[in-house]
Amino acid sequence: MQRRKLGPLEVSAIGYGAMGLEGYYGSIGQADAIETIRHALDCGITLLDTADAYGDGHNEALLAQAINGRNRDAIVIATKFGIVFDPDERGTSLTTGWGFSLNINGRPEYAQRALDASLKRLGVEYIDLWYLHYPDPATPIQETVGAMAEQVHAGKVRYLGLSNVTAEQVRHAHEVHPISAVQYEYSLWRREAEQTLLPTTRDLGIGCVAWGPLGTGFLAGMTRVAEDDFRYHNPRYQGENRQHNEERFAPLSDMAKELGITAAQLALAWLLHQGSNIVPIPGTRQAARVEENAAAVEIVLTPEHLARIDQLAPAGLHVETPWCKTRDVTSDA
Ligand SMILES: NC(=O)c1ccc[n+]([C@@H]2O[C@H](COP(=O)([O-])OP(=O)(O)OC[C@H]3O[C@@H](n4cnc5c(N)ncnc54)[C@H](OP(=O)(O)O)[C@@H]3O)[C@@H](O)[C@H]2O)c1
C-alpha cells in the first residue's frame, strides 16, 4: 500500500471509514464489523477513522476489539469529538440539511472529558489523530484548539485535526497549534473545497482527509436508499435531484467500464489524483469492497480521462444543499 503524509503523520494512501458499521447505512452484525476492520488492516490500510459520536461511542469500542492483538504502532487511530450524544451534556444546535440537527460542544472542559472517554472506549493510551468534528459556533476555534493542544502536551494525542471547517478557521487554529489534517466532504459530487480550503491546507502543509469519497455511495452506484437509511432525507437522493444526479454521473460508470475498473475505484482514483496531500477514507461494511477500494491507489488516470471527468463534475461543483448550515446562536443556554 502506498503511503501519504497528513502533515508529519504518515498513513496509507487510502484509509478506512468505520462510521457505516453503526447502522447508518443498514445494519451489520458485530462479528462481521470487526472482521471488516481487520480486513482493512490486512490490506495494508493503516488509517482507521472513527468518532465518539458514531453509535454513541459504540464505534470506538468496536474498533478497540478489532485492533486487539494487532501491532498498535502500525495503526493510525483517528477519532473525533464535538458532537454531543450524551443527553446530559450541553451544546449548540447545528442544522445539517439532512433532516436532523447536531448538538456541538467545543468548550475546553468538554474536550478533555470527551478525550478521556474516547481513550477508555478505544482501550489505548494515546490517539494518533484527534479531530474537532465540527467547530462550535459558540466557542472560538482558537479556544477549542488550545484545549486540544494541551492533550498533545500531556501525551494523550499525537496530532490534531479539524473537520468541516472553513479555510479561515484552519488558519486561526494553525496559529494556536500545528494542524496535521483537515477532514471535509470531498468527492466528485462535492468539489467546493477546491476553492479555498484545499489551497489553504497545501499552503500550510496540512493533509486533507476526504470523507464521503464515494458520494456516500452514490458515485459507486448506490443511488436509491431505503426510507430508514440515514441518507434518505439528503436532498441529493430525492425526486428530481436524484434523477439529475443519476444522469450526471452515469458517464462515470461508462468510463470505469472502459478502464476495466469499478465506478467506486474511479471515484477514489480521481481523488488521489487531486493532490499528494489527499487521503480518501471510504467506508464499507463488506470485506471484498475494502479490497476493491484499496486497489484504487494503483490506478493511473490519463490527463484525457481527468479532463473528461472535469466536464462531468466541474471544479467547485457542489451538488445540492450544503452539508451543514449553522444556526445563529449566541448562547447555548
Ligand atoms: N467528518 C465528518 O463529518 C464525516 C461525515 C461522514 C463520514 N465521515 C467519515 O468518512 C467515512 C466515509 O464516508 P461515508 O461512509 O459516509 O461515505 P462513502 O465512503 O462515500 O460511501 C459509503 C457507502 O458506499 C458504499 N460502498 C463502499 N465501497 C463500495 C464499493 N466498492 N462499491 C459499491 N458501494 C460501495 C457503502 O456500502 P456498503 O457498506 O454496503 O459497502 C456505503 O453505503 C465514514 O465512514 C466516516 O469515517 C466523516
pLDDT in tens, 203-219: 999 999 999 999 999 89
CB 170 within 8 A of CB 204: yes
pLDDT surpasses 60 at 326 = no
- In which band, very low, low, confident or very high, does the pLDDT at 319 lie, cut at 50, 70 and 90? low
- In which band, very low, low, confident or very high, does the pLDDT at 36 lie, cut at 50, 70 and 90? very high
Which residue carries 454513541 as its cell? 56
And the C-alpha cell for 280?
Answer: 480518501
Cα atoms in the 13 Å half-sphere on the side-chain side of 105: 21
Q: To test the ligand 1 pocket, which listed residue (211, 218, 219, 231) has its Cβ within 8 A of the most ligand atoms? A: 211
- Break the chain down into helix, strand, coil percent, rounded to 5: 45, 20, 40
- In which band, very low, low, confident or very high, does the pLDDT at 114 lie, cut at 50, 70 and 90? very high
Q: What's the gap in Å between 285 CA and the centre of ligand 1?
A: 9
Which residue carries 436532498 as its cell? 235
First and final C-alpha spacing in the chain: 48
Q: How far is it, in rounded angstroms, from Cα 129 to Cα 81?
A: 11
> Atom 33 in ligand 1: which residue has the minimum CA distance?
220
Number of helices (H), then strands (E), in the chain: 10, 13
Q: To test the ligand 1 pocket, which listed residue (11, 183, 289, 297) has its Cβ within 8 A of the most ligand atoms? A: 289
Position 23 scores a pLDDT of 72
> Atom 44 in ligand 1: which residue has the minimum CA distance?
17
- In which band, very low, low, confident or very high, does the pLDDT at 328 lie, cut at 50, 70 and 90? very low
CB 242 within 8 A of CB 231: no
pLDDT surpasses 70 at 149 = yes
The residue ranking higher by pLDDT, 128 or 230, is 128
- In which band, very low, low, confident or very high, does the pLDDT at 271 lie, cut at 50, 70 and 90? very high
Position 241 scores a pLDDT of 79
- In which band, very low, low, confident or very high, does the pLDDT at 97 lie, cut at 50, 70 and 90? low
DSSP codes of every residue in 184-226: EE-BTTB-GGGTTHHHHHHHHT-EEEEESTTGGGGGGT-----
CB 164 within 8 A of CB 323: yes
Q: How far is it, in rounded angstroms, from Cα 224 to Cα 47?
A: 29
Local structure of 47: helix, strand or coil: strand
Query: What are the structural domains of the chain?
Result: 3-325 (3.20.20.100)
CB 25 within 8 A of CB 229: yes
The residue ranking higher by pLDDT, 175 or 318, is 175
pLDDT surpasses 90 at 95 = no
CB 43 within 8 A of CB 2: no
Q: How far is it, in rounded angstroms, from Cα 135 to Cα 133?
A: 7
Q: What's the gap in Å between 149 CA and the centre of ligand 1?
A: 29
pLDDT surpasses 80 at 264 = yes
Q: How far is it, in rounded angstroms, from Cα 182 to Cα 185?
A: 10
And the C-alpha cell for 73?
Answer: 504502532
Residues designated as active site: 54
Look up residue 267 and give its DSSP letter: H
The binding-site residues of ligand 1, defined as CB within 6 angstroms of any ligand atom, are 17-20, 25, 49, 163-164, 183, 211-217, 220-222, 262, 264, 281-286, 289, 292-293
Of the candidates 73, 150, 137, the residue with the CA atom closest to the CA atom of residue 109: 150
**Chain mean pLDDT for the chain:** 91
Position 158 scores a pLDDT of 98
Which residue carries 437509511 as its cell? 229
Q: Which is the closest atom of ligand 1 to the Cα of 211?
A: 10
Position 332 scores a pLDDT of 30
Which residue carries 455511495 as its cell? 217
Q: What percent of the chain has pLDDT over 90?
A: 74
Q: How far is it, in rounded angstroms, from Cα 236 to Cα 61?
A: 32
pLDDT surpasses 60 at 321 = no
Position 327 scores a pLDDT of 27
> Atom 14 in ligand 1: which residue has the minimum CA distance?
212
Position 333 scores a pLDDT of 26
Q: How far is it, in rounded angstroms, from Cα 178 to Cα 171?
A: 10
Report in angstroms the alpha-carbon separations of 131 from 73, 226, 308, 324: 19, 31, 35, 17
